[in-house]
């Protein structure tokens, strides 16, 4: 049997043998745990529409809001961090999977050394003590995954990669909802500022009238002071609201990925269209919310690591091979007599590890239990968030209707109180009370109107849906614009065993 020829014949046989034997997998295969889901939500909405897969924020019919969300998806730093994290887990997956295949390397080395002329061993006469050595080896190493350790590690790495992608989508879902809520809150504050300025201007006019009447002796100084007090009270609310507006603009700017600064406005809060209420069954949340899919992928990853840990109890089988040339003269390095080759196999069996392997198995099982409970808790939290959003939407709408009637009643009360005062039938205190109540009711009505929109936004966030994928495309960073997407899709499609 000649060396190189036998090596070329033996290696394929060993490869086929390894592939044939590497069909054993230890550890539990993943099965989605049974999660009790309610048939309906606790608070059922009245009118609903299947809009969870559409870009729901466009239903507000405010082009400025659409532009703000598009800017946030393109520049927000949390989205960029999440995208980089996906790339990190892609590299981890590729690195882990590479251990399933033979590792081939090539090299070249050259050395020159001098042997001792005098000593215990002497060189034959005429032999130079200085000699060279040149080597050009091709090396092959392969660990046969006979008991599935590497395949379970690859399964875990694949699930971690998919979890990072779902985490990125969860970041996008949260970002869109945060931008929309911040914009609604900003328009709410703008409306409050408008009311405060209008009330202040009206009270400033009243103060001028009372000052003229006081000079003419028609009203007392107490009535003048009361009028001035109410004017100062409404005037004091203006800087408070302006502070909140500036802070809200700064917060929204950071969400957009920009430095703090002013924010462009679109429609008034009262001019925004009201989006439809999304419909869906509680069981749909498992597929519609990326954070739940992320939690499940984390559970899959932890489950696979149990098998990887249990496989440590069994032998490691490795094959190595070398083929190349070695010569003392570079000119003869690639001639026939300079060829060298070798191949070997090794088997390592753990005999005594002082509990190291059992400790790793216990650790993996405990991590799987943590991931399981976190998955179940995430589902329960998701049901709670949907129910909370539904009841907040229903009750805020009811509250808005009542407060609208209250504002109209207080407008009538304020008008009649002033007429009674001008007619001399009541004191100015009644006028002040009516105007103060109207001012506070108008602010409360505006705040509740903003709460209705915010509740709708919260409901869309809690429901999730296919719109997250459409928003992901708007980031311009979907797996490096497709550079890694094929590998990710392939990873997701690969069987776990």
Please list the pLDDT of the chain residue by residue as tens digits (497 residues): 444 455 455 555 555 555 555 557 788 899 999 888 887 777 776 555 565 677 899 999 999 999 999 999 999 999 999 999 999 999 999 999 998 888 888 888 888 887 776 665 666 776 777 778 888 888 888 888 888 899 999 999 999 999 999 999 999 999 999 999 999 999 999 999 999 999 999 889 888 988 888 888 878 888 889 889 989 999 999 999 999 999 999 999 999 999 999 999 999 999 999 888 887 778 888 888 999 999 999 999 999 999 999 999 988 888 888 888 887 777 777 777 778 888 888 888 999 889 999 999 999 999 999 999 999 999 999 999 999 999 999 999 999 999 999 999 999 999 999 898 888 888 888 888 898 999 999 999 999 999 999 999 999 999 888 888 888 888 875 444 333 444 444 444 444 43
Instruction: Give the contacts of 215 (CB within 8 A, at least 6 positions apart).
Output: none
* Residue 278 near residue 463, CB atoms below 8 Å: yes
In a domain, 48, yes or no: yes
Length of the chain: 497
Tokens of 481: 């614009």
In a domain, 83, yes or no: yes
Q: Which of 246, 72, 275, 268 is nearest to 184 (CA)?
A: 268
Domain count, the chain: 1
In a domain, 22, yes or no: no
In a domain, 339, yes or no: no
Q: Which of 90, 85, 28 is nearest to 302 (CA)?
A: 28
* Residue 123 near residue 129, CB atoms below 8 Å: yes
Which domain, by its residues, includes 223?
Answer: 28-101+149-313+358-493
In a domain, 10, yes or no: no
Pairwise CA distance, residues 224 & 432, whole Å = 12
Q: Which of 64, 53, 50 is nearest to 179 (CA)?
A: 64
Beta bridge partners of 316: 348
Tokens of 107: 């090299």
Pairwise CA distance, residues 19 & 16, whole Å = 5
In a domain, 20, yes or no: no
Beta bridge partners of 318: 143, 346
* Residue 249 near residue 261, CB atoms below 8 Å: yes
In a domain, 248, yes or no: yes
Pairwise CA distance, residues 460 & 457, whole Å = 5
* Residue 166 near residue 85, CB atoms below 8 Å: no
156: CATH = 1.20.1600.10
Tokens of 432: 């002040």
In a domain, 39, yes or no: yes
């Amino acid at each position: 049997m000649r060396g190189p020829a036998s090596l070329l014949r033996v290696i394929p046989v060993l490869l086929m043998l390894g592939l044939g034997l590497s069909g054993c997998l230890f550890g539990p295969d993943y099965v989605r745990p049974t999660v009790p889901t309610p048939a309906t939500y606790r608070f059922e909405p009245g009118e609903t529409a299947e809009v969870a897969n559409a870009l729901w924020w466009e239903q507000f019919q405010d082009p400025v809001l659409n532009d703000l969300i598009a800017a946030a998806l393109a520049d927000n730093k949390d989205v960029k961090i999440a995208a980089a994290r996906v790339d990190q887990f892609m590299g981890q997956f590729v690195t882990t999977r590479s251990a399933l295949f033979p590792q081939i390397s090539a090299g070249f080395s050259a050395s020159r050394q001098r042997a001792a002329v005098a000593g215990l061993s002497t060189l034959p006469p005429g032999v130079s003590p200085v000699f060279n050595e040149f080597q050009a080896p091709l090396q092959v190493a392969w660990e046969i995954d006979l008991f599935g350790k590497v395949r379970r590690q690859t399964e875990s790495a694949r699930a971690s990669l998919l979890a990072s992608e779902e985490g990125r989508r969860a970041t996008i879902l949260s970002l869109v909802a945060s931008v929309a809520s911040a914009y609604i809150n900003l328009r709410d504050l703008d409306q409050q500022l408008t009311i405060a300025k209008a009330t202040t201007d009206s009270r400033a006019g009243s103060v001028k009238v009372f000052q003229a009447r006081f000079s003419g002796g028609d009203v007392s100084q107490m009535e003048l002071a009361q009028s001035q007090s109410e004017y100062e009270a409404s005037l004091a609310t203006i800087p408070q609201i302006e502070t909140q507006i500036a802070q809200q603009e700064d917060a929204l700017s950071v969400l957009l990925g920009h430095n703090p600064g002013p924010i462009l406005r679109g429609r008034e809060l009262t001019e925004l269209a009201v989006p439809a209420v999304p419909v869906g069954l509680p069981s749909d949340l498992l597929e519609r919310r990326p954070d739940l899919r992320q939690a499940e992928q984390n559970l899959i990853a932890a489950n696979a690591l149990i098998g990887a840990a249990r496989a440590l109890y069994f032998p490691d089988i490795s094959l190595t091979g070398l083929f190349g040339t070695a010569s003392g003269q570079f000119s003869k390095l690639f001639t026939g007599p300079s060829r060298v080759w070798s191949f070997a196999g090794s088997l390592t069996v753990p005999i005594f590890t002082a509990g190291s392997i059992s400790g790793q198995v216990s650790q993996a099982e405990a991590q799987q239990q943590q991931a399981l409970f976190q998955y179940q808790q995430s589902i329960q939290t998701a049901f709670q968030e949907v129910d909370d959003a539904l009841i907040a939407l229903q009750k805020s709408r009811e509250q808005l209707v009542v407060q609208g009637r209250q504002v109209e009643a207080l407008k009538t009360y304020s008008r009649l109180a002033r007429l009674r005062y001008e007619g001399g039938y009541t004191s100015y205190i009644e006028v002040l009370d009516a105007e103060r109540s109207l001012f506070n009711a108008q602010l409360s009505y505006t705040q509740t109107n903003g709460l209705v929109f915010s509740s709708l936004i919260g409901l869309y966030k809690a429901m999730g849906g296919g719109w997250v994928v459409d928003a992901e495309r708007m980031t311009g960073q979907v797996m490096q614009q497709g550079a890694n997407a094929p590998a990710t899709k392939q990873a997701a499609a690969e069987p776990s065993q």
